[in-house]
Chains A and B, each alone.
Chain A
Amino acid sequence: MTEQEQHAPEEVDAHGWRPVALGLDLPPASVTGARIGEQRLAIWRNSHGDVRASDDRCPHRGMRLSLGFVRDDMLACLYHGWRFDAEGRCRTIPAHPGLKPAATIRTTTFPTIESDGLIWCRVDGVEPPESPPALTSPAHPTTPVRTIRIDAPTRSVSRALGISPDDRTARVNLPIHDIADTPDDNAPTPSDAAAMSAVTVVVVQHAVGREETRLYVLIEGDAPTTTIQRASRWASSLRDKVEREHKDAIVVEHV
């Protein structure tokens, strides 16, 4: 981390439940890295589907646990194979197979919840009294589309999405009449075409750093494959547009 990043004047909001991954991007028995404010996290899922979050730092030599892997429903460090259970306690030290690791060898863990297709985590130490923000009504389950990284500050993304910088969730009406770049056997008949002329895309923003935003893209309700692909392409073009505008803005500032 550069010094500039450490003394970031712009505070990255680390309070409350923050989205750390799309559920489908974390298959059983896998791990990924995430970040909430200054807190780096290893988010992992065991073979039964349960999600855990741990400080992304191995107590042995400080290596990043998110570079490791999940074995026997424990998070294993890539470097010397120490394994940590759901509560963060070290259970196995391969170099000393007979040894039962002391209870004090552990990583810090954080609460997680999976809902609306997203994995949420909180690192503010507040006992979780309330649930993460509901994205849609329970009657309308979401269809996950993708995660996308944008190399621009969250305010630039908010501007492009037409929401205030404090709003973390945007709802975008995406017309789907131009989806047919590939002919689809299940194309709607003219009579349902009117009803299906737009879908609501739900975009959840997360500021990873000052110049880096992660978007979780979902669709409200069920959607056919072509519509999900359309929403994925829309997210790519949003990313390209925001990054271009952000770059241009920096150039203007320096002229």
Chain B
Amino acid sequence: MSDLVLYDDELDEDCYRARLALALCGVTARLHAIDVTMAREQDASSFRALSPAGRLPALQGVTGTGDLPAICGAAAVLRAVAVLAGPASGWAPVDTGEAASVAHWLSFAEYELAAARRLRRLALFGPSADDCDTQTSTPTHAALRVMEDHMTLRRISGRSWFVGDRPTIADIALFPSFALCRDYGLSHDDYPALRRWQTCVKGLPGFIAMPGVPEYG
């Protein structure tokens, strides 16, 4: 019997990545809300004991085969969830090439899409100490364009997903930044290939929404 806990902040984009991965991969975890507003629980020593950098999301608990040490950050949680789901779930990479491409897009989601996460945080919650005041949407546009160009070529060759013939954690890692870009005023209209892909993601069994991501569309 496994018993997993996801340390979570409902409005955080990276935490949504983790919740979406758990839901789509069919892995059950209890949610433990971390109040990052007034209480700043991410800095509490109890949470730092588990996530030393105070990073959310964090996944920890007991799996069927033993203890799961604390896994911190969206990319790590996504990989862990795909492994926990097991090979039969269809979410673990099938071969080396696919694993490498998934790694490529996970790294893209972490670095290139960091600008998108910053923009959204700024639009929703205002500036924080680590934001410089010259935020522009240019790097975010550039990142979404790379995704749009890729998915246009994929659409032309009759594919629906970022990698291979079925959804992978690459799709889960990339989806929230596109789905949430309306939060900071970017429109989906300029990204028809990503819109088409978004509809496919929303149609996956187990899909869950979050504030800012409508269930339909």
Contact A25 B196, CB 8 Å, known A146-B152, A236-B149: yes
- Select from chain B the residue with minimum beta-carbon distance to A149: B190
Which residues of B are found within 8 Å of A69, using beta-carbon distances? 214, 216-217
A interface, how many residues as a size bin?
Answer: 20 to 34
Q: Are A229 and B199 neighbours in the complex by a CB distance under 8 Å?
A: no
Which residues of A are found within 8 Å of B153, using beta-carbon distances? 229, 232-233
Contact A32 B157, CB 8 Å, known A69-B214, A78-B214: no
Q: Are B217 and A68 neighbours in the complex by a CB distance under 8 Å?
A: yes
Q: Count the A-B residue pairs with Cβ separation under 8 angstroms: how many? A: 51
Q: Are A225 and B156 neighbours in the complex by a CB distance under 8 Å?
A: yes
A45 to B153, CA, bound (A): 24
A175 at the interface (CB under 8 A from B): no
B195 at the interface (CB under 8 A from A): yes
Taking CB atoms and an 8 Å cut-off, the chain B residues in 135-156 that contact chain A are: 141, 149, 152-153, 156
Which residues of B are found within 8 Å of A71, using beta-carbon distances? 216
Q: For B192, give its contact among A22, A66, A229, A236 (CB under 8 Å).
A: A22
Which residues of A are found within 8 Å of B196, using beta-carbon distances? 25, 27
Taking CB atoms and an 8 Å cut-off, the chain A residues in 53-80 that contact chain B are: 66-69, 71, 78
Q: Are B192 and A147 neighbours in the complex by a CB distance under 8 Å?
A: yes
Q: Are B156 and A32 neighbours in the complex by a CB distance under 8 Å?
A: no
Taking CB atoms and an 8 Å cut-off, the chain B residues in 43-97 that contact chain A are: none
B22 at the interface (CB under 8 A from A): no
B181 at the interface (CB under 8 A from A): no
A25 to B153, CA, bound (A): 14
Which residues of A are found within 8 Å of B173, using beta-carbon distances? none
Which residues of B are found within 8 Å of A156, using beta-carbon distances? none
Proximity bits, A113-150, B CB within 8 Å = 1, else 0: 00000000000000000000000000000000111010
A19 at the interface (CB under 8 A from B): no
A140 to B192, CA, bound (A): 25
Q: Are B149 and A66 neighbours in the complex by a CB distance under 8 Å?
A: no
Which residues of A are found within 8 Å of B2, using beta-carbon distances? none
B133 at the interface (CB under 8 A from A): no
B165 at the interface (CB under 8 A from A): no
A228 at the interface (CB under 8 A from B): yes
B107 at the interface (CB under 8 A from A): no
Q: Are A27 and B199 neighbours in the complex by a CB distance under 8 Å?
A: yes
15 A-B pairs with CB atoms under 8 Å apart are A22-B192, A25-B192, A25-B196, A32-B192, A33-B187, A67-B217, A69-B214, A147-B192, A151-B141, A225-B157, A229-B153, A232-B149, A232-B152, A232-B153, A233-B153
A-to-B contact residues, CB < 8 Å: 21-22, 25, 27, 30-34, 66-69, 71, 78, 145-147, 149, 151, 214, 225, 228-229, 232-233, 236
B-to-A contact residues, CB < 8 Å: 141, 149, 152-153, 156-158, 182, 187-190, 192-193, 195-196, 199, 214, 216-217
Beyond known contacts A33-B187, A146-B192: 17 more, CB 8 A cutoff = A21-B192, A27-B196, A27-B199, A31-B217, A32-B189, A66-B189, A67-B182, A67-B217, A71-B216, A78-B214, A78-B217, A145-B156, A146-B193, A149-B190, A228-B156, A229-B156, A233-B153
